[in-house]
């Protein structure tokens, strides 16, 4: 404490100024910017590693010659990263999964049809009932035996009780599926006198089968076609008069188109009848 000349005391007040650092400074901004830059670089590297090989070549070509290289590719296999570039997103894996699910459903349907026929006393149909999954879809076929009167009477479109029960079982199972349905009628080459022909007979039998399918629960809107093929698609080409050529076919095409690279040769038993009456594999 000091004194002035007139004897008065002079009071000196000292204020201590505390400096503000820490989060009030600017150094943290630099550190945060470095962190964000590092994270961006990391994700950029990860993105490049997951790219399609064509896109990697595109980037390499661009940095080698930015002016002359203008070819674009989509990034990886994700539909999101495809953007508007000319790259094509491969849908084969998706199609293959959908196709496999449909095939599995068809095979489960086959087992259930056979189980129900067995429970209703029609397990003896044996080889006269064929349920086959082909490249095109599910084919269910009921063929006559050597006597030719198991499903329809000779020259008639009236079903036997055996055929009626069999078509009811098939209709019950197909009613649970979403696929469209095609019903086909086939005859042998035996000719009839009068105005009726195998064309009318095959079409009438196919329509009789359709009516039973619908009564069993199949929605009428799912019936895509009813075809009468007469004797133009014989199952036994070398024996045109064989009663086993008389048959009803119910066909359910796949809803999912199969990827080209997933098509494998079919087993010999998975055959189809080509136009002109020949059996093709």
**Dist CA 191 CA 117 (whole Å):** 33
Tokens 């989060």 found at: 23
- Mean pLDDT estimate for the chain: 79
Fill in the DSSP letter of residue 27.
H
Mean pLDDT of the region 115-129 = 88
Q: How is the chain split among helix, strand and coil, in percent rounded to 5?
A: 40, 15, 45
Residue 54: both structure tokens together: 């064509």
What's the pLDDT at 19?
56
Q: Which of 19-28, 54-63, 87-96 has the lowest mean pLDDT?
A: 87-96
**Dist CA 234 CA 247 (whole Å):** 10
Instruction: State the alpha helices, DSSP H only, in 50-160.
Output: 53-64, 79-82, 92-119
**Does residue 255 contact residue 102 with C-beta atoms inside 8 Å?**
yes
Tokens 């019950």 found at: 172
**Does residue 249 contact residue 196 with C-beta atoms inside 8 Å?**
no
Identify the bridge partners of residue 3 per DSSP, sorted by sequence position. 9
What's the pLDDT at 256?
82
Q: Which of 18-22, 200-204, 242-246 has the lowest mean pLDDT?
A: 18-22
Strand duo 278-280 + 272-274: pairing: antiparallel
Residue 84: both structure tokens together: 């508007």
Which has the closest alpha carbon to 273: 253, 254, 249, 255?
Answer: 249
What's the pLDDT at 240?
93
Mean pLDDT of the region 161-169 = 95
**Dist CA 154 CA 58 (whole Å):** 71
Q: Does residue 108 have a pLDDT over 90?
A: yes
Identify the bridge partners of residue 272 per DSSP, sorted by sequence position. 280
- Strand, helix or coil for residue 39: helix
Strand duo 129-133 + 181-186: pairing: unpaired
pLDDT tens for residues 184-224? 999 999 987 666 799 999 999 999 999 999 999 999 999 99
Statement: the pTM of the whole predicted model exceeds 0.85: no
């Amino acid at each position: 404490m000091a004194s002035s000349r007139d004897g008065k005391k002079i009071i000196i007040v000292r204020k201590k100024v505390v400096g503000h650092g820490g989060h009030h400074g600017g150094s943290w901004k630099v550190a945060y910017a470095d962190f964000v830059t590092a994270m961006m670089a990391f994700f950029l590297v990860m993105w490049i590693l997951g790219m399609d090989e064509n896109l990697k070549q595109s980037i390499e070509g661009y940095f080698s010659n930015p002016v002359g290289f203008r070819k674009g590719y989509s990034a990886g296999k994700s539909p999101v990263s495809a953007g508007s570039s000319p790259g094509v997103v491969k849908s084969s894996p998706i199609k293959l999964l959908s196709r496999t699910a449909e095939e599995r459903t068809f095979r489960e349907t086959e087992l259930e049809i056979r189980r129900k026929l067995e429970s209703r006393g029609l397990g003896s149909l044996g080889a006269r009932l064929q349920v086959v999954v082909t490249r095109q879809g599910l084919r269910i076929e009921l063929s006559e035996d050597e006597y030719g009167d198991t499903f329809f009477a000779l020259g008639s479109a009236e079903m036997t009780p055996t055929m009626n029960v069999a078509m009811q079982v098939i209709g019950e199972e197909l009613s649970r599926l979403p696929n469209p349905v095609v019903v086909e009628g086939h005859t042998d080459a035996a000719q009839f006198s009068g105005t009726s022909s195998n064309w009318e007979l095959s079409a009438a039998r196919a329509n009789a089968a359709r009516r039973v399918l619908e009564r069993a629960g199949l929605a009428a809107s799912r019936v895509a076609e009813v075809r009468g093929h007469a004797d133009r698609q014989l199952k036994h080409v070398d024996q045109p008069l064989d009663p086993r050529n008389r048959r009803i076919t119910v066909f359910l095409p796949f809803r999912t188109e199969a990827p080209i690279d997933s098509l494998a040769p079919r087993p010999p038993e998975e055959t189809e009848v080509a136009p002109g009456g020949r059996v093709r594999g």
